[in-house]
Chain A
């Protein structure tokens, strides 16, 4: 039993919540800044597209992201406000390439009701003040002084209590806001207020407008010369100002995002909830508005934010699908769309369900997620490591080395593949039929092992053997020249480049010399690969015979080596080979754990390749197989292309509909999903719900069962029953009738997969929604409304089976999430936290054993072990509770004790036991049990249960890291991780932030030394321990 948990992010949030454009990194730079809830990314718009400049975590959920330019400044500043009422103002330091905090503060109020429709943060266009609407009835003002510094904040009472949007107006001599609000009778209006800074109060503004479209919920302020405001409703768009009122009807839609196209404010892009992007034009003569016009442009992902960049390039940020960089063309395409998608940026969010499967039977889990929503729904296959897509393979034993060669210096493609064995060398080549066949290069010595090969200038090739270096014509294949090693000597290691001069280094065994003395000791074998440049930074990589890799920063002018780091890439000797993928330098480390080394965000990353025991590798860019690699593994030579290089590889399967639940069935090699398809063209009741069967390799739909009208698929599992050898899919449904608030009817459907089709074997009607199903003691456990119901699978006289109710338990508000272990049942309730039930076999009864008396609104539950249960709740927190079997009183035994609390900052939809990485028996972390979670923002995270000793050590490390690493904008990590909901805020306990701990590896050496001294543990030991943790995900 362990109550100590390590929480780490395997995949960062990808849901784009905010974006803005401005001159942030320099007056001449055009920057796109993106917020993904808890992270910000800064990009530079260049002729090559969006160039990432910075990607940093924020210790808070971002509620507001705005660029603004104080008086007299040449560059924009960035204002960030978080949902827990912290704010900061950031500036870019051009010299260091870092963010500088210009201001920070806390704008929380002790009393006040948090606003329902989301926090609002706005900045006066003339930079006189920042306005915040955080609590009902209050508008907070942070004034600027003449030098652009922030002064003390104050509150102004706002009469409107149900605010939908507030924006500052342009062109007003005094700061003026426009408020869109709803009255007690649900009618919507706008009014304006001037902010009187001296009196700290509002003054009635220049105009107001009553009785707008009842779906109005977005204001767009219009810059000079037109000024005024646009009010976006579901059926109407209104332009309103002191001297004009114009309205146009629109196709019913919900506009979620907008981007201004022109500095003069005459054109806007609007994105609606179906992914349609339209151009809204304010028609004007001189400076007088005469009308509005809207033109549909085409389809994008459903936009959460739209940023117009430059020259018709637009960034579309999305919460429900991938974000996109699009180009708006002047002419429509064949489908009538003016939208051209140039780039897609992966968004896993929202992850509403996932399963963990080993699809390729490699001993490593892959996460298959239900991602996206509405039309942008998809499945994503997420796996750790880089996949190889095999194109061709040949059985070959005993490969000692491989090199690719071109047939002439000017040929862009490789032709020859030189394969070296212990006593011979063979050459494979692509023939005219694009097949790999054995061939000869007469000038090569083929009776010995080749140590090195390379292309040389002037149509020449180089072969190095232990006794000679041979120069060969690549066109005639004849030997041009040869150098012999003196007798008694042999060549051990060699390298070369393409220039006339060939550097060959000869080492004698007793005393090898290196380019520069580094701290390399006691290693029997060395392989040196020097001057490897990643992202403009030179590194020296040293592969050791025991499976370790050293890397140094290399100063190419002085030869100085700094920032020594050591990582373990396996237990066998490593061979290193550079290759290029997507115009970026990578290094392939071949060993018993093949790894690709690359740089991202100016730091070296290591990503394992989904292969076992790769002994050698070389790039092989042939005309038939462009950008391929040749890989030698046990008994086989494979040529294949490599997936995108990243820590987690993501394969997207667009569905065009929204998958809500997924389950894998190993026996039938299928997935089954509950999905729904939206048909916005028709009116109400436009959803159709399905159970679909998919092939688990191709993800094709192979069978579909349509649910009834109003019937929702709520849950799906694969299970078998006592006394029945078959495996079934069981689906829980609910009938959502228009007149009912809570479903009173649902079904349990039992399917078999026969001949690739879903066959309905049995169905059972239920008196409520079937929110969850579990296989339980050879039976089926269902959460039906407020009850837990146990069904057994009974053979009828006619030979068919049916589900028969055995027993149940009620007392829940709504039983939404259920997990089982042995005879214990853990229930996550809608609003009453976690309860523990036990099934009594002899009595055929389910009884409550204990429960957590906190009123937590649950979103996911999992059983960590026999006594510890994990929950995620509505305010983005994680907590653990413990069964207290040894309590002295019934009350003590009946109470689940809260033993861990932590603010994750993410809304968790699902926990599953499993691992994203191979569990290696020789690894220390291989024995640590892990739970994977998926969130609305597309985060995939891992929670690991640590032994106490390790927890205590890491807690000290975390504490010291907090002192060394400061949050962006002065935000506090300790405050960020404190458990927080509307009732209480308490310090995090028994949870560690793995993201912070693993950032130790990114520190420079002096900061590492600082922490090493504080903990009295060597840097090498610290790195080793933290490296091991990174192998959890």
Chain B
């Protein structure tokens, strides 16, 4: 593989030595372009955190979903809003996607209220939405069967995976994800945060959530007569040193064009698995469980840990590629590939920045400030080097390679999360709502009933405050002195 160079590649394209398609793939994945990524614009209209951003198949429309339960279709290149409507959800929208080959008229959404909804854009400009099904718990992610205008899957914190066919509106409950056998007694289901479909073999999909395993399933094994055998995964993926670690969970999954599986752990790192790194349908028993405050976890990947725990595994399989530098504690973050052939890995971070690594080497090449607080979502454009990111702030940021100079890495990469005082947030009802929501998005289940009760009381207070704010100053989305006075009085 010769190096990617703009000018020799241009010469080779001119004479036909390099096909135009490969020219675009090579130059479109150039590291120079990553280093020239710069903020093109902010897309501002939402009145809450933006949790969902995705592009349509052609790449000219960006669809976003927010805590304000609204869906907006943007012409991201010019910043113009094509359409906005209420999703019909009663809580934070977590994902929104346009079904391919639907003339960009069919949008599916899922949210914190557990609903999976279908929005149809009608000829007269109106939007018709309806509920297709409901998870008993928050529904974090949906995945569209590649190229299908009808079929998609969802997963939720109830551990349920559902398959939807828009032609019939039918929702099929495929299975509820169960932990490995020795944990059934204290963890009845895996709370699922992520689902992804293999782009080269759409029969395969992976799910992950509140334990250390990503699970791979084959839809062809589903017995449509209602048999219960389907819930057994065909493969498990986990870094050897995390096997048995009950303190970690997974927040994001992605498949590459080469069928590699990218897994982002909370309180841990990001790992890239090739197919041959699977543990098989029966994961091995943990050699020894890791303690909660293990040094290995704190400082990241540890050779000592690997050698002590997985010497046998190391002899047989190569260990996954590791990506580190970011922090993933506060929220359920996605992880993604970037570049025309998935040459890069991107993730948001609790420090409010976007991190970009080279997939092959794991080398961190780019860190970009993208939010005052946390970056949760990063979405790659399907055809060109453009990123869309969102986080706690109410906007979406569009990044294109337009900078004149190439960026360098900041000195303090592993920055602690920004300090957040409680009183600072009192002025922003939406942020207070987010503050209440944040702990609930942690992977680990809160078992303290007392804390839950306290949260409910605070939520009631905020809701009351919100109602007062609406009645006294309906058009003002931001807090002001009067609101503060009202709150205190």
Contacts and interface: CB of A to CB of B under 8 A. Distances in A.
Interface of A: 15, 110-114, 116, 118, 136-137, 157, 161-162, 184, 186, 319-320, 349-350, 352, 373, 658, 660, 712, 714, 734, 736, 738, 740-743, 769, 786-787, 810-811, 813-814, 816, 830-831, 853, 855, 857, 859, 874-876, 891, 895, 907, 909, 936-937, 982-984
Given A184-B274, A813-B402, A137 B200 contact: yes
Contacts of B187: none
B259 interface: yes
Question: Interface centre among B21, B101, B383, by most A CB within 10 Å?
Answer: B21
B384 A855 contact: yes
A524 to B, nearest CB: 56
Nearest to B381: A855
Contacts of B33: 813
A741 B20 contact: no
Contacts of B31: 741
A741 B6 contact: yes
Interface string B50-62: 0000000011100
Nearest to A214: B1
Contact of A184 (B10, B13, B28, B258): B258
A712 B20 contact: no
B14 interface: yes
A814 B6 contact: yes
Contact of A157 (B201, B260, B341): B201
Nearest to A741: B32
Nearest to A907: B20
Nearest to B5: A741
B21 A116 contact: yes
A970 B200 CA distance: 32
B21 A114 contact: yes
Given A161-B200, A936-B14, 19 more contacts: A111-B202, A116-B22, A137-B201, A137-B259, A186-B1, A352-B15, A712-B7, A714-B7, A740-B5, A742-B32, A813-B33, A831-B28, A831-B384, A853-B77, A857-B24, A874-B23, A876-B20, A936-B15, A983-B383
Interface in B58-83: 58-60, 77-78, 80
Contacts of A116: 21-22, 25, 341
Nearest to A814: B6
B203 to A, nearest CB: 9
B17 A769 contact: no
A111 B146 contact: yes
B59 A830 contact: no
19 contacts: A110-B147, A111-B147, A113-B257, A116-B341, A118-B19, A186-B1, A658-B15, A736-B7, A741-B4, A741-B5, A742-B32, A769-B7, A786-B404, A787-B404, A813-B33, A831-B28, A831-B385, A876-B20, A936-B14
Interface in B1-51: 1, 3-8, 10-11, 13-17, 19-25, 27-28, 30-33
Interface string B258-291: 1110000000000000100000000000000000
A111 B6 CA distance: 30
B14 A830 contact: no
Nearest to B28: A831
Contact of B404 (A736, A810, A853): A810
Contacts of B274: 184
Interface string B385-424: 1000000000000000110100000000000000000000
The 5 closest A-B pairs by CB, nearest first: A111-B147, A137-B200, A373-B15, A874-B20, A936-B16
Nearest to A114: B21
B300 interface: no
Interface string B113-149: 0000000000000000000000000000000001110
B199 interface: yes
A711 to B, nearest CB: 11
A379 B60 CA distance: 43
A742 B28 CA distance: 13
B17 to A, nearest CB: 7
A845 to B, nearest CB: 17
A769 B11 CA distance: 13
Nearest to B80: A891
Contacts of A111: 146-148, 202
A110 B151 CA distance: 14
B14 A909 contact: yes
B16 A350 contact: yes
B6 A161 contact: no
Contacts of B11: 660, 712
Contacts of A320: 15
Contacts of A787: 404
A800 B384 CA distance: 47
A768 B124 CA distance: 51
A157 B22 CA distance: 23
A874 B383 contact: no
Nearest to B401: A813
Contacts of B15: 320, 350, 352, 373, 658, 936
A508 B81 CA distance: 85
A658 B147 CA distance: 44
A736 B257 contact: no
Contact of B3 (A136, A741, A769, A814): A741
A791 B231 CA distance: 70
Nearest to A736: B7
A746 to B, nearest CB: 10
Contacts of A712: 7, 11
Contact of A743 (B6, B21, B22, B404): B6
B257 A741 contact: no
Nearest to B58: A983
A320 B258 CA distance: 34
Contact of A831 (B10, B27, B32, B199): B27
Contacts of A741: 3-6, 30-32
B360 to A, nearest CB: 9
Contacts of B8: 736
Question: Interface centre among B8, B22, B402, by most A CB within 10 Å?
Answer: B402
Contacts of B7: 712, 714, 734, 736, 742-743, 769
Contact of A742 (B20, B30, B402): B30
A114 B6 CA distance: 23
Nearest to A658: B15
Contacts of B385: 831
A263 to B, nearest CB: 33
Nearest to B258: A161
Contacts of A734: 7
A712 B17 CA distance: 18
Contacts of B28: 831
Contacts of B32: 741-742
B77 A983 contact: no
A743 B7 CA distance: 8
A301 to B, nearest CB: 14
A983 B259 contact: no
A736 B146 CA distance: 40
Contacts of B401: 813
Contacts of B25: 116
Contacts of A736: 5, 7-8
Contacts of B19: 118
Contacts of A136: 200, 257
Contact of B6 (A110, A352, A769): A769
A853 B400 CA distance: 13
Contacts of A373: 15, 17
B403 to A, nearest CB: 9
Contacts of A743: 6-7
A559 B67 CA distance: 89
Contact of A891 (B10, B78, B101, B259): B78
A743 to B, nearest CB: 6
Contacts of B199: 113
Contact of B383 (A813, A830, A855, A907): A855
Interface string B189-204: 0000000000111100
A186 B361 CA distance: 13
A734 B11 CA distance: 13
